[in-house]
Amino acid sequence: MAHKLNQIFSALADPTRRDILIMLLEDDMAVTDIAEPFEMSLAAISKHLIVLSKAGLVLQERRGRVKWCKLDPEAMHAAFVWIQTFGQLDPINLDTFEEFLEKEKLLNNSESI
């Protein structure tokens, strides 16, 4: 796939992958631990991580038999810059995860109309 933005945005288009990214905000994690809260197979999560890794959103470093995954803010920043530049949007200021959830909830509600 040609353009890096294609990979970044399509990586972000999947809710499982967005959830993984949010998990990785807290700490670096091994593939198996990332997979734990999800209801799909480990192989599926492994694939999602490869997608995130190819998009540059996640770095994977193998130590022994464990592959540690960590956020790589670089690609996310590229998407951010694209959107911001596009609309000349002003960065907003949100502080907590609770506010973030609130936003998501509002978004979900408006969607179900």
Partner DNA sequence: ACTTTATTCAACCAAATAGTTGAATAATAG
Partner DNA sequence: CTATTATTCAACTATTTGGTTGAATAAAGT
Q: Which parts of this chain interact with its own copies (CB under 8 A)?
A: 2-6, 9-10, 12-15, 18-19, 21-23, 25-27, 37-39, 73, 76-92, 94-101, 103-105, 107-108, 110-112
Residue 78's Cβ-count burial label (10 Å; 0-12, 13-18, 19+) is middle
Verify binding: residue 80, DNA, rule CB under 7 A. Answer: no
Backbone angles phi, psi at 76, to 5 degrees: -55, -40
Given a contact cutoff of 8 angstroms between Cβ atoms, the answer to whether 53 and 84 are in contact is no
Verify binding: residue 60, DNA, rule CB under 7 A. Answer: yes
List the one residue from 4, 16, 59, 78 that touches DNA (CB under 7 A). Answer: 16
| Gap between the Cα atoms of 79 and 71, Å rounded | 15
Contacting positions for DNA (CB under 7 A):
1, 10, 13-14, 16, 30-33, 39-44, 46-51, 60, 63-68
